[in-house]
Amino acid sequence: MSGEAMDSVFKALADPTRRLLLDRLREHNGQTLRELCERLDMARQSATQHLDILVRAGLVTVVRRGRERLHYLNPAPIHEIEERWISVFDKPRLQALSAIKHQAEEYAMTSESTSVPTYVYVTYIRASAEQVWHALTDADLTARFWGHANVSDWQPGSTWEHQRVDGSGAVDVVGRVLKAEPPTSLVITFEDSLDLDPPREPSVVTFLVEPHQDIVRLTVTHEKLANQEMLNGISQGWPAVLANLKSLLETGDVLPQAPWEMSEAHT
């Protein structure tokens, strides 16, 4: 995180009203402006001004659903602050804090506005939109940062497969490409219940790639999750996958950890 970006995070967190907005999103994520105003007894204009500051700081992510704008808490900037000032000086205690953080993220990124869970995660990558798109759609690169090769021609209506890289040729997840607009937007279905009878309704993942100054803002939205267990799995999986993607594009190598397997996260 640059010094300017960190300044904006601290400025956003300095105001008690903005901290209260973050608390309300943590309690009930995916709220509209109207819902936030009602819960805080706050005028729309005032809430909008505070939310704009939180969005610019990267602490809140806005996802459009038709005419509505849903607001999600994004803990990534706070995590980067934690990594800068805590991991260096207090590694043992960081492990305990990390467990708490993952639990908080899992809850915070869940939308309770509908009966079907939704997970949203945002990361910033120092790369071009074209590089991020290529990494998301190239079988060899996905094999490196995901642990599975995602294989498709990535045309709307085409199928895609999440293939193991152990030489077995086994496929753990299949899906269909719903939308592909290089290099900014990719929407796919996840059909992970290949061994269930009857199979359950596939979930839907949207990758939104947005150039942001000299970096890219990548938003991953995972919708129509089957149940809480599936939400728990992808809440651990997506941060690991995206951290590996970020590391690969920025350093040329993935993080020194076991790759996340999508099939395990969806069981």
pLDDT at 112 over 50: no
d(C-alpha 149, C-alpha 196), whole Å: 23
pLDDT band of residue 154 (cuts 50, 70, 90) is very high
All CATH 3.30.530.20 domain ranges of the chain, comma separated, are 121-265
Residue 207's pLDDT is 97
Residue 178's pLDDT is 97
- Looking up tokens 């949207």 gives 206
Q: Residue 80 is encoded by which pair of tokens? A: 């980067």
pTM: predicted TM-score of the whole model, two decimal places: 0.65
Check: CB of residue 75 under 8 Å from CB of residue 108: yes
pLDDT single digits (tens) 172-192: 899 999 999 999 999 999 987
pLDDT at 4 over 60: yes
All CATH 1.10.10.10 domain ranges of the chain, comma separated, are 3-113
Cis before 199 (ω within 30): no
pLDDT band of residue 124 (cuts 50, 70, 90) is confident
Mean pLDDT of the 209-232 span: 86
Write down the CATH number for the domain with range 121-265.
3.30.530.20
Interacting residues of 29 by C-beta distance below 8 A, sequence separation 6+: 71, 72, 73, 107, 108, 109, 110, 111, 112
The three-state secondary structure class of 23 is helix
- CATH number 1.10.10.10 given to 3-113: yes
Residue 103's pLDDT is 43
Residue 76's pLDDT is 79
d(C-alpha 235, C-alpha 213), whole Å: 28
Q: Residue 97 is encoded by which pair of tokens? A: 């804090």
Cis before 182 (ω within 30): no
Mean pLDDT of the 163-167 span: 89
Which tops the pLDDT comparison, 260 or 33? 33
Residue 78's pLDDT is 78
